[in-house]
Amino acid sequence: MKLRLFVIAVAALTLSSCCNKNVEIVGSWVKPNPIASDQVQGVTLNEDGTASSINMATLRYQSWSREDNVLYLTAESEGSGEPYTMTVKYEIAKLSKDSLVLDGGDYGILRYSRQQ
């Protein structure tokens, strides 16, 4: 019984530490551009819930919202033919002062650094 409680406590601490709710998610988050290694790309999350893309012409972020450890990003994509609007749900796997890791399931894992 003690071992079971210990395992539950460790699991709860691990889950709660993955996403520090005291860290502000508002700001600009970037990662290396896979096409141009000397550039970055990413997203800016504004305080008013709007969002904008950083160096991504075919994916234009429009808005964002957060519920606990879930981040919703709405964007207009022009990647394949007619533009369409989509909202993607991301689990916030890690959030610290300088790092944001998002797990988008089928959309993959995105690893960002805060842009200074």
DSSP 23-80: S---EEEEEE-SS-TT-EEEEEE-TTSBEEEES-SSEEEEEEEEETTEEEEEEEE-SS
At residue 14, the 3 state secondary structure works out as helix
pLDDT at residue 110, as a whole number = 95
Indicate which CATH number applies to the domain containing 107.
2.40.128.280
Residue 95 phi/psi, 5-degree rounding, is -145, 115
CA distances from 91 to 40, 49, 61, 86, 109 (A): 22, 18, 18, 16, 9
How far apart CA 34 and CA 28 sit, in angstroms, is 18
Per-residue pLDDT of the chain (116 residues; tens, 9 = 90+): 544 444 444 444 444 445 556 689 999 999 999 989 899 999 999 999 999 999 998 999 999 999 999 999 999 998 777 899 999 999 999 999 999 999 999 989 999 999 98
Q: How far apart are CA 58 and CA 80, in angstroms?
A: 9
Contact 92/70 with Cβ under 8 angstroms?
Answer: yes
pLDDT of residue 17: 44
Domain count, the chain: 1
Domain around 47: 2-114
- The single residue listed with the structure tokens 């709660």 is 16
Question: What is the model's pTM?
Answer: 0.79
Whole-number pLDDT of residue 103: 97
